[in-house]
Amino acid sequence: MPKFIAIIIVVILFCSSGLFTYAQKRTELPIKSEAAVMLDADTGAVLYAKNPDERLYPASLTKIATAIYAIEKGDLNDIVTVSRNAAWTEGASVHLNEGERVPMKTLIQGMIINSGNDAAVAIAEHLDGSVDLFSKNLNEYLIKNIGVTETHFVNPNGLFDPNHYTTAWDLAKITNYAQKNPVFAEIFGMKEMKWTGQTWNATLVSHHLMLNGEILYSGITGGKTGYLDESRHTLATSANNGKMRLIVIEMMADRKKDGYKDTARLLDYGFSHFKHEELKEGESFKKGKKEFSTSAHTMITLPLNGKSKEVSNKGLLSVKDENGNTLQSIQLNPVKAHIKKEAAKPGLKFYKNMHLNAFYGVFGLLIAGAFIGKRRTKND
């Protein structure tokens, strides 16, 4: 499928759902990472964005896309035979051996928890026969299913290539989409696992310091790290405070601790400045003489201070923060004007007809009386 056709299909799908989100900077926060996005996982509203559309190298955050693609396309019970190419992949690994046979789900776990580059290649070759074909299919999948616009991957693990890039906004969408899959959410949230391999036995511990507990932050539900000289430190994090679920993407932090500090600062801001509100099905909004309504129950994200909702002449409901930035937009349905008909009541029609008939009857009698009187006068 040509790329532009796929993009058109995604746009149509988003339009039909009535929900749009816009990545733009919300407020001034001392974020040191080159790019960052925080969104509400339940509504898709973007609560903060810094350089969201800047093309950057994702490093191992690529594996989030590889994992959800593998979960949705493959069979988790498949037994994967590791090739020489996979076993000899450079960088972080789970020490796979050529010819080793490993369940697909186990490989996905090793890829996410221990950032195994070898596991990622084994997954790609099993699913599509080669890394090149896997990358082609992955890119099409991300466009069609998730709606990315500035992403192009050439491998399943994020090892550096100048043509392997994405944006903080696209990564936020990918992570949010993936988190809705229970299998991915389970693996993304694993702090550790026992690994029993052909040549390596170990307890794998998540590299994400907020997830594994080395950096304390309440409510962390998932995470993935990445690092390359060209990408610097990248970080994907999900958190839940019992009221909201947030996703934070950090890209190109010069120091590891900067990425975690940025993430904690954004989570603090998100949890303390926003809340949810549900619009009921059929809830109406007016713009001048025009009236619009929601087509279904819809959850929206509102700032605790300075919240506002505005409706355009075309029925686009925009939720804005205290600075006038659009958090979320929802396409409403126009309410057609109907001519009000008087409700039918028992005997009403008969009552009206009775009065009308009486009027015509009296009118007829008057004419008849006048006509008879005239004839009598002539006869006299």
**378 C-beta neighbours (distance < 10 Å), count:** 6
Local structure of residue 146 (DSSP, 8 states): I
Angle at CA of residue 282, ends 279 and 287, nearest 5°: 85
C-alpha closest to that of 171 among 115, 251, 99, 227 = 251
Radius of gyration of the chain, Cα coordinates, nearest whole angstrom: 32
C-alpha closest to that of 247 among 256, 255, 234, 238 = 238
Dihedral, CA of residue 276, residue 46, residue 151 and residue 62, to nearest 10: -60
3-state SS, 288-334, equals CCEEEECCCCEEEEEECCCCEEEECCCCEEEEECCCCCEEEEEECEE
> Residue type at 48?
Y
Active site residue 60: yes
> Among residues 60, 93, 231, 238, which one is catalytic?
60
Active site residue 173: no
Active site residue 63: yes
> Residue type at 339?
I
Element of type H or E holding 366: helix 348-379
> Among residues 50, 63, 105, 224, which one is catalytic?
63
> Residue type at 320?
K
> Among residues 33, 83, 93, 115, which one is catalytic?
115
Beta strands, E only, the chain: 19-20, 35-40, 46-50, 79-81, 101-103, 192-196, 201-205, 220-228, 232-240, 245-253, 274-279, 284-287, 290-293, 298-303, 308-311, 316-320, 326-331, 333-334
Is residue 197 within 8 Å of 100, Cβ to Cβ? yes
- Which residue carries 């008939």 as its tokens? 357
Take residue 82 and report the two structure tokens written for it. 């590791």
Catalytic annotation, residues: 60, 63, 115
